[in-house]
Structure 1
Amino acid sequence: MSDPHSTAPVPSPRRRVGRPAGRRAGDTTTRDRILDSARQHFARGSYSSTTIRAIAADADVNPALVIHYFGSKRDLFGATLRLPLHLRDQVSALIRTDPDDMGEHVVRLFLTAWRDQNVRTPLSAMIRSVFSDEGAADALGQFLATHLLGPLVAASRRDRPELRVSLAASHLAGLVIGRHILGVAPLARADIEQLVACVGPVIQHYLTGRLPAVPTE
């Protein structure tokens, strides 16, 4: 018969064997760890070759936790593309500037952002995947529309905002592909202010200029 006054330790519940699911929901360090892992994987490979399972393994979490935080690979990829706080503040400041100068400001901000490693690494990986993966192309468009061009077009209250965003996004994407991915010599060597002077007026027209009338049947 056991002694009711015994001080022997009570055995702890047996832990379930397997990879930990991460810290409790809402722990920002777990979320940041997943994002860091995702950035590294997308930078080393491509959108299509990167898997949730591999990202989770390097972040030391269960793959289900990645889905819990981000929903899908596309949403996780989009999260890695979010502008750093200082760049988001600059986008917000552009909304309050003279809309007639917006094109030059947008081009300067976008090209300058590529000097930031946290922006350049995931964007470069994503753009390399655009040519072969529809999901990466969608993620690029979503990034430009949500974090850079969309708010500016909405603030200008011009007609056909979705078309304006698409035109400007396509032009900016082509510019950085030529400059940073393909390394087209004149673009790669050009000073940022040279490109701002050349491309700024075009982006300005897309954002605030008069677009051709929609043909009617």
Structure 2
Amino acid sequence: MARRTGRRPGNPDTREAILTAARAAFADRGFDAASIRAIATAAGVDPALVHHYFGTKEELFRATVAIPVDPAELVPRVLAGGRDEVGERLVRTFLAVWDSPVGTAAVALLRSAVSNQWTARLLREFLVTQVLRRVVEQLDLDPAETPLRGALVATQIAGLAMMRYVIRLEPVASASPDTLAATIGPTVQRYLTGPLDSA
């Protein structure tokens, strides 16, 4: 009889207790302020067990919001190439994920965030700390402007997600990724690197 290899699945009750504690911590305190130690204490387990089940804090956070992709793998694609095309590449990468089979989980999360404040806070933390911050920190921008720039980008990306995947507004819902990247990308680019004042 062949022996099973790899990490054992472990106790599902323990795993769920950790996830429940993590969701509460991330929603209440945000990603930066939540600690593995505090999450472990709330779940009634040793911090080493949290690492055993989920690895890093980023991986635990991703599990709490059920996002099936790792932004750390996607952001380098967005940043590869010239600085002046980051907006278009960000839109194109976003569409590639949401148009793929894993996009259904993202759509479900977005629908839930509209009606559930707790989910909305988790989604906001995910977008800000795991996606937008990683992009804007690599663009050599004025640190005082990066929160506003990131939030402005989020308005475009979240708006696109709502119109294309939830409300299904035509012709946006059926437009090609190339068309959307070419038309929305410049606005995202202006939010990322353009002047923010009206002068």
TM-score class normalised by the smaller sequence:
0.5 to 0.7
What is the TM-score normalised by the length of structure 1? 0.62
Inter-partner Cα distance in structure 1 for 2:21 and 2:81: 35
Q: Number of residue pairs matched?
A: 155
Report the alpha carbon displacement of residue 29 of structure 1 after superposing the two structures with TM: 4.8
Q: Given residue 98 of structure 2, which amino acid in structure 1 is its aligned partner? A: W
RMSD: 2.5
Residues 153-186 of structure 1: CA deviation (Å, up to 9, x unaligned): 0011212111111111121011011111111121
Secondary structure of the 2:173 match is helix
Residue 58 of structure 2 corresponds to residue 111 of structure 1: no
Structure 2, unmatched stretches of 5+, are: 1-5, 27-59
Max radius of gyration: which structure? 1
Amino acid at match of 1:211: L
Mapped partners of 2:154, 2:73: distance in 1: 20
SS at match of 1:71: helix
The residue aligned with 1:30 is 9
Please list, as runs of the form range in 1=range in 2, the aligned pairs for 1:200-211 lying within 5 A after superposition. Answer: 200-211=185-196
Matched, 1:83 2:66: no
1:172 equivalent among 142, 149, 157: 157
Q: Which residue type is aligned with residue 66 of structure 1?
A: E
- Which structure 2 residues correspond to residues 12-91 of structure 1 after superposition, within 5 A? 28-30=7-9, 61-62=12-13, 64-68=14-18, 71-73=21-23, 78-79=62-63, 80-84=66-70, 88-91=72-75
TM-score, structure 2 as length reference: 0.68
State the SS of the aligned residue for 1:157. coil
Shift of 1:148: 2.5
In 2, are the aligned partners of 1:95 and 1:151 still within 8 Å (CA)? no
Q: 1:197 to 1:96 in 2, by over 3 A?
A: closer
Choose from 149, 158, 163 the match for 2:132. 149
Query: Identical aligned pairs, as a percentage?
Result: 30
